[in-house]
Chain A
Amino acid sequence: MSLPPMWIYFRIQKFGIWLPFFFIWPLILIMIIIIIPFTIVIDLLLWFSGNRYHHFTRLAISSLIILSALKGFHAQVQGTNTNIDIQVI
């Protein structure tokens, strides 16, 4: 299992910036930890009420997994008047 992405690089024309993604991870984890008990309660209520859809907890965890899977993403657009570069490292 690889580490989640740590940096995001944005460049538009000649201006580029490195954003420290590793600062955001603790905030995201705290948010998920706060949200998970609520989603568990909602899922249980929906399940007992017979609702077919009761996957909000899995949805929250899957969102975290998708964010982690972004590592290695790179998009570069180069044109005569355009220069955009996005990297997730």
Chain B
Amino acid sequence: MSEERKRILDMVASGKITAEEAEKLLDAIKIPSETTESSIDQQTKKTPKFMYVKVTSSDSDNVDVKVPLGLIRAGMRLTALIPPHAMNHINESMGKHGMSFDLNNLKQGDIEDLVQNLTEMEINVNAKEGDNVRVFCE
């Protein structure tokens, strides 16, 4: 029994509050703990484990790829071990292809945030010819 519930019941026993008032107080203390539990459940449920890429085409050419997110994490961490001259070369090449993204600024915390928030990501592309591309994490 929690401390708050015990105090409320003691107050009813000593006649300080009525049963109706005690019921309201008990309902009030129940709601935050339910919310906390459900948000904790949501957090534990939400860590994605795989990234799925599914391509279906009208010609019956299908591609299914399932990539463990641990592999993506490990790969991103590997960027910290790329030699500086190679890193500059990679950044230049990415810049030429329209991706002005500096891999030197990638931090461990950023990678974890990215992976954690991938649960909400879903990309759906439907083409006129009936081709479909779907990217999501679960």
Contact = CB atoms under 8 A, between A and B. Distances in A.
Interface of B is mostly: mixed
Given A62-B81, A73-B67, A78 B62 contact: yes
A69 B74 contact: yes
Interface in B52-82: 59-68, 70-71, 73-75, 77-78, 81
A75 B65 contact: yes
Contacts of B81: 55, 58-59, 62
B59 A80 contact: yes
B62 A73 contact: no
Nearest to A72: B68
A57 B85 CA distance: 19
A65 B81 CA distance: 13
B22 to A, nearest CB: 48
B98 interface: no
Interface residues of A, number: 21
Interface residues of B, number: 22
B50 A53 contact: no
Given A62-B74, A62-B78, A69 B68 contact: yes
Interface in A65-86: 65-66, 69-80, 82
Contacts of B109: none
Contact of A53 (B67, B71, B83): B83
Contacts of B61: 77-80, 82
Contacts of A52: 84
Contacts of A59: 78, 81
13 contacts: A58-B81, A59-B78, A62-B78, A65-B77, A66-B74, A69-B73, A70-B68, A71-B68, A72-B49, A75-B64, A76-B65, A78-B60, A82-B61
Interface of A: 52-53, 55, 58-59, 62, 65-66, 69-80, 82
